[in-house]
Structure 1
């Protein structure tokens, strides 16, 4: 009798494991479709670029931006950013368009040398034409 009881528990655990892994697989498929939709939206947003002031006022999550202006003095460095196993910083600079709209622009990632000295950033010419994607800030957490 004990052996029959153990067999049923084993089959029940196996079925629960299969159901759990199936649910995880479906969750991954949903994430894939959501990310593909985001990539498709980025492509169409960049193709329909707006001036910065219009893009900031327009509803929606993603907008293509093409504008002229200048980068303001000052740099924000976000430390401890890893990429391909190397430590680095993300570089952000404030940008003011000719219409007066101000935005913090992600200038990319820079690797840090082994002694962790901060990178020397070049001054950018002004005025400058910028083109990119305006996206909402990342969520907290």
Structure 2
């Protein structure tokens, strides 16, 4: 029979193994997030290379579901709808604000493309900016095709009407937006983040004065931070093993 002392020893090691497994799993998750973000940054850097900018992809690439999580420099033209979507809870340099999106229907047809026009600050009363997307029959655009902002916990409606042609969104899910806006062809899974470098020939939405940038990981942890957290979790797993060994050796000496 196993003595009560051995029972306690086995229970202690079972707890230690459980803790080590949990810490190691969290460390592996942090490493996976680090690698995922490194791939994102590498793909974006490739898309932003000057050679890629000189040979942009067509806007139809926005609808390619197989590239929904990567990046391409693209350009094209189409009809701009008089629909303005403001994405709430967007922080820039510590200031709360909203991000403005317009809808472009490419001349080649297919799914509409969301245009990230830029960030705008909110005042103390959280009034939406007066700017809106102009209706243009032929709008030329260029920018970075990218996944839409990450969605947190989804609860409640994604979109609420503020006024004619103006909507406030709490999350940017193309399928939900397409349903709310009654777009039968749908909305492409990637958004076009407009080029922040305004050129003399630019017109229409390319000149809307929102604060635009092509930052890939805004308001989130960079890969280096994930590596640091991974080291901490693996360190806790190792520390748990050391403590379990020390306690076991002490018990054996006392016996």
The alignment partner of 2:66 has SS state of coil
Which residue number corresponds to residue 59 of structure 2?
52
Give the CA deviation at 1:66: 1.9
Identify which of structures 1 and 2 has the higher relative contact order when contacts are C-alpha pairs closer than 8 Å and 6+ apart: 2
Distance 1:92 1:64, change over 3 A: same
Contact 2:83 2:133 in 1 (8 A): no
The list of structure 1 runs, each at least 4 consecutive aligned residues, that deviate by more than 6 angstroms after superposition, is 122-126, 136-140
Mean CA deviation greater in 87-96 or 17-26: 87-96
What corresponds to 2:247 in structure 1?
A: none
| Mapped partners of 1:108, 1:40: distance in 2 | 23
Q: Retained in 1: the 8 A contact 2:80–2:103?
A: yes
Q: 2:11 — aligned with what?
A: 9
1:92–1:69: structure 2 CA closer, same or farther, 3 Å change rule? Answer: same
Q: For the residues of structure 1 that align with 2:57 and 2:23, how far apart are their CA atoms?
A: 44
Instruction: Give the TM-score normalised by structure 2.
Output: 0.44
For residues 56 and 87 of structure 1, do their structure 2 counterparts lie closer, same or farther at Cα, with a shift above 3 Å needed?
A: closer
Aligned to 1:119: 129
Q: How many residues align?
A: 139
For residues 1-141 of structure 1, the aligned pairs below 5 Å read: 1-46=3-48, 47=52, 49-53=56-60, 55-56=61-62, 60-61=66-67, 62=70, 63-68=72-77, 71-79=80-88, 81-83=89-91, 86-97=95-106, 102-121=112-131, 127-135=139-147, 141=154
Greater displacement, 39-48 / 109-118: 39-48
Alignment RMSD (CA, Å):
3.4
Structure with more of its chain in strand, by fraction? 1
